[in-house]
Structure 1
């Protein structure tokens, strides 16, 4: 009977040890607040990395975004956020007038329900550019067929017969002003 009691006590002690009954008290871990970024907002603390294009330009893009090769360029994306950088040719630098005459027609043909809100000549770190602000519908989701409205900023830069078209897109209303400025001003010709 004594052996049985000693075994019972030993088992009880082992169970208590395994469930932490004799463990030192540990401070309660505090809950981490969930992110409150609306869909499409690039976080303010986002890390950016430099993408070196084989086509002769460098561009800072958000770290961790997916990348795929597209016709004449590259696309970076995360959910509905997207950065397209494509290379083209031109005999002269585009102007706001030439963009209104040609680029906008092409946009309306290629994209979904385009509404252009502004076309301006701007100055970027890489040189003069055309900025086209517009909205479009996203491509339909292949599973749900759902579309959302997107805001775009498209920049067209020219150098030595080449153009780089940089198109930044996010769900309408997303606050990416600072991040888009960082991305567009990071573009450098090589």
Structure 2
């Protein structure tokens, strides 16, 4: 499906992407230009991917010093800097890294947005702004992109994404939410982005 940066967004797709000849999504120096030049695919008329109102959320406690709520029952993949939670075409990816300074709208445009445009497919950023959340001020990046090609049909879908950058005491936490464009996940995404709590 997608990555939060380079190869971290959907871990099992690395081998698949290489087999499909889509290495640019993971190694921009090799094929980044092809990924950047990819055209946006049309959004589905009746997109799948709505998180049901009955979805139960559970606490995810990270060893990186924060907790947040994630959907119960989604496939979880842990790694050193965080974890991903995936259900069909929907995904939640959270990671932590060190940072000397808090992100700003300007720094996000100069770094995160450029990274997205280089490493993800047919990216179109629609908003970069500061938001006030229970965990403190954060930067919210809203964009659309193409998914990775399906392994069998080679079909792609248009995805909508929200990326949140949280900062505290030299630690930067990045939360990525994605689903097919047009899916109705506003309330569930708000619940998750508002639930991050520093330990």
TM-score normalized with structure 2 length: 0.75
Aligned-pair distance for 1:92? 0.7
Q: Give the whole-Å Cα distance in 2 for the aligned partners of 1:117 and 1:70.
A: 30
The residue that corresponds to 1:116 in the other structure is 125
Query: Which fold has the larger relative contact order, with Cα–Cα distance below 8 Å and residues 6 or more apart in sequence?
Result: 2
Question: Structure 2 regions of 5+ residues with no counterpart?
Answer: 1-45
Match of 2:159 in 1: 150
Q: 1:185 to 1:80 in 2, by over 3 A?
A: same
Partner of 1:180: 189
What corresponds to 2:62 in structure 1? 53
Quote the residue 2:94 is aligned against. 85
What is the deviation of 1:143? 2.1
Shift of 1:70: 4.4
* More off after superposition, 115-124 vs 52-61: 52-61
1:97-149 deviation line (CA, Å, top 9, x unaligned) = 11011110111112111100000000111110000000011111222221110
In the TM superposition, structure 1's runs of 4+ consecutive aligned residues that sit over 4 Å from their partners are none
Instruction: Count how many residue pairs are aligned between Structure 1 and Structure 2.
Output: 154
Aligned Cα root-mean-square deviation (Å)? 1.3
Give the drift of 1:38.
5.2
Give the Å deviation of 1:59: 1.2
Return the match for 1:140 from 149, 153, 167: 149
1:30-88 deviation digits (Å, cap 9, x = unpaired): xxxxxxx9511001111101111121111101111000124622100001100010101
User: 1:106 maps to which residue?
Assistant: 115
Distance of aligned partners of 1:147 and 1:169 in 2 relative to their CA distance in 1, 3 Å threshold: same
- The structure number with the bigger radius of gyration is 1
Deviates more, 1:143-152 or 1:125-134: 143-152
Cα separation, 1, equivalents of 2:79 and 2:48: 24
CA separation in 2, counterparts of 1:152 and 1:54?
25
What TM-score comes out, normalization by structure 1 length? 0.78
Unaligned runs of 5+ in 1: 1-36
